Structure 1
Amino acid sequence: MKILVIGPSWVGDMMMSHSLYRSLKAQYPDAQIDVMAPAWCRPLLDRMPEIRQALAMPLGHGALALGERRRLGVSLREQGYDRAYVLPNSFKSALVPFFAKVPTRTGWRGEMRYGLLNDVRILDKTAFPLMVQRYVALAYPRDQIHRAEDLPQPLLWPQLQVAQAEIDAVLPAFDLVSERSLIGFCPGAEFGPAKRWPHYHYASLAQTLIERGHQVVLFGSAKDNEAGEAIRDTLPEPLRAFCTNLAGKTSLDQAVVLIAACHAVVSNDSGLMHVAAALNRPLVALYGPSSPDFTPPLSHQANVIRLITGYHRVRKGDGEQGYHQSLIDIQPERVLEALTPYLQTQEHR
């Protein structure tokens, strides 16, 4: 069986989609699974052994580009795909499998995609409260799975593969070879400060960790570099040598390898949080207005801290510097308490 997946366009969603690929491979061990997604996703897909190849989606996130999608679909006809799974809910995301004439095209109804999809699922959000459940449900016949409880248990959570040799090669390139264990911070958030734990809380936690013999590494994209510098600048000057800001200075693949090298990770709700979970790193995940009830970190080593309930659709927080008050209220001492069980074996060597 040959399967085409139209994948998500966000890091966190792409990570959670791995559960679908693992579920498909468990049912159809000989299946060849190709995933079409933005080119930047390839470092993640290359670390998912279930994927035969990553196909670059050349069109921008918001572009309809009907003619180009038709040409792209026609070019895939010779691949002879048997099934397609469309994970985004947009109308345009279903066009390529339709033009590719894939016989069975599965997805949630989304933007009224009858015809484009011929195996349309109607989503009951209360029956599948988690995004990962909605992805995995697509792997099974619609008359078989009616609610999350019907899914095979346990769910096959995302698992990225990183070899020790890769870690050994990357650490020296960023001057991170030291007897001090690495603690990763992921202080960025896609939509600004409302989802970020305040930089001064990160700095307070970093100071304590450095004084206890660790080194701190900050991860993120180029637009997170400023937040990383704010953390470093808040530290006492003598301690800054043990806090490295790599936001915007690594490729995504290098960031994945470096996070795999971390003894533990502290993160806002972000794509890199889901990467850390898929690498099975001990993780403290900090939530504010976004909700772990929909997209929690999928790891048995994840500790979620959140002080409010429900989902709050805000892009700018109500606190100082645009932070959300619920994240301001999470004190560094509480995060350190959650981290400490993961650190004790390292500190007592």
Structure 2
Amino acid sequence: MKILVIGPSWVGDMMMSQSLYRTLKAENPEAVIDVMAPAWCRPLLSRMPEVNEALPMPLGHGALQIAERHRLGKALRSKGYDRAIVLPGSFKSALVPFFAAVPRRTGWRGEMRYGLLNDLRVLDKTAFPLMVQRYVALGYDKANIRSASDLPQPLLRPGLTVLDAEKQTTLSTFKLDNQRPIIGFCPGAEFGPAKRWPHYHYATLAQRLIAQGYQVLLFGSAKDHDTGQQILASLSEDAYPHCRNLAGETQLEQAVILLACCHAIVSNDSGLMHIAAALDRPLIALYGPSSPDFTPPLSEKARVIRLITGYHKLRKGDADEGYHQSLIDITPERVMAELGMLPPTSGV
């Protein structure tokens, strides 16, 4: 069976989608799975052994461009897909499989997708509370899966593969110290500071870890670079050389490899958190207004710290510098204690 998956456009969602690919292969080892997603996803998809080919989606997030989607779909007809699974809920995401004339097109009912999808599912959010459950459920006939309890347990978790040789090469490329074990920090998050643990808490934690003989690497995109600089500026002179701000300095491929080198990772609720979980790294995940009840880190080595319950609307400015009070209230001492309780592991 040849399966086309229209993948999500966010890092965390892309990582959770691997549970679907693993499930499809477990149910049918001969299945050939191609995933259409933005080109930036290729470094992640290439490390998922279940994925045969990553097909680039050249259209930007939010772009309709029906004529271009028609062209993309027609170009895929020769591949002879038996089935398509559409993970995003938008109208436009269902167009390519329709234009590709894939016989069976599966997805949750979204915005005006009648006809585009001929295996349409109606989502009961209480029956499938986790996003990963909603993804995996699409791999089965809807008559057999009415709630998350009908899915195979436990769910197959995401898992990215990184080779030891890649680790050594990338550590050398960035001239990183091989003598000190690495703790990774992921201090960024989408939608502003409301989902971020304060930079001054990260700095306090970095100072203490460096004093214990660790080095700290700061990960993120270019827009997280200033946050990394704030952390660095808060360190003492003797700790400064052992903390490196890599936010905006690495390609996604390099960030994945360096995260795999870490002995442990401390992260906000972000895409990098989900990558760290898929790399099976010991992980402290810090949540504030967003909820781990929907998109938790999918790893037995992850510990979630959250001081509130329920979902809270993300809003800027409810505390100093736009941080959420519930994240301010998570102390560096609490995170340090949780790090000490993580299972021992070797990063490099």
Q: Structures share a fold, TM > 0.5?
A: yes
Number of the residue aligned with 1:55: 55
Q: Specify whether residues 345 and 99 from structure 1 end up closer, same or farther in structure 2 by C-alpha distance, changes over 3 A only.
A: closer
Q: TM-score, normalised by structure 1?
A: 0.98
Count of aligned pairs: 346
Number of the residue aligned with 1:286: 286
CA distance in 2, matches of 1:292, 1:89: 21
CA distance in 1, matches of 2:15, 2:345: 29
Determine if contact 2:184/2:264 at 8 Å carries over to the other structure.
yes
Number of the residue aligned with 2:210: 210
The answer to whether 1:330 aligns with 2:330 is: yes
Q: CA deviation at 1:167?
A: 0.4
Determine if contact 2:282/2:343 at 8 Å carries over to the other structure.
no
Q: Which runs of 5+ in 1 are unaligned?
A: none
AA partner of residue 211 (structure 1)? A
Determine if contact 1:7/1:14 at 8 Å carries over to the other structure.
yes
The answer to whether 1:4 aligns with 2:4 is: yes
Determine if contact 1:16/1:158 at 8 Å carries over to the other structure.
yes
CA distance in 1, matches of 2:345, 2:300: 18
CA distance in 2, matches of 1:216, 1:260: 14
Number of the residue aligned with 1:301: 301
Number of the residue aligned with 2:192: 192
Determine if contact 1:191/1:315 at 8 Å carries over to the other structure.
no
Q: CA deviation at 1:345?
A: 7.6
Q: CA deviation at 1:28?
A: 1.0
Q: Secondary structure in 2 aligned to 1:120?
A: strand
Question: How large is the RMSD of aligned CA atoms in angstroms?
Answer: 1.0
Q: CA deviation at 1:37?
A: 0.3
Number of the residue aligned with 2:76: 76
CA distance in 2, matches of 1:343, 1:208: 19
AA partner of residue 165 (structure 2)? A
Q: Specify whether residues 172 and 343 from structure 1 end up closer, same or farther in structure 2 by C-alpha distance, changes over 3 A only.
A: farther
Q: CA deviation at 1:314?
A: 1.2
* CA shift digits 1:57-109 (9 cap, x unpaired): 00010111011101110111011000000000000000000000000000000
Q: Which runs of 5+ in 2 are unaligned?
A: none
Determine if contact 2:225/2:248 at 8 Å carries over to the other structure.
yes
Determine if contact 2:222/2:248 at 8 Å carries over to the other structure.
yes
The answer to whether 1:232 aligns with 2:232 is: yes
* Higher alpha-carbon deviation: 233-242 or 15-24: 233-242
* CA shift digits 1:133-192 (9 cap, x unpaired): 000000100000000000011100100000111101110111213211000000000111
Number of the residue aligned with 2:268: 268
Q: Secondary structure in 2 aligned to 1:339?
A: helix
AA partner of residue 310 (structure 1)? G
Q: Secondary structure in 2 aligned to 1:29?
A: coil
What percentage of residue pairs aligned between the two structures are identical?
71
AA partner of residue 112 (structure 2)? M
Q: Secondary structure in 2 aligned to 1:152?
A: coil
CA distance in 1, matches of 2:113, 2:51: 26
The answer to whether 1:121 aligns with 2:103 is: no
AA partner of residue 165 (structure 1)? A
AA partner of residue 12 (structure 2)? G
Q: TM-score, normalised by structure 2?
A: 0.98
The list of structure 1 runs, each at least 4 consecutive aligned residues, that deviate by more than 6 angstroms after superposition, is 343-346
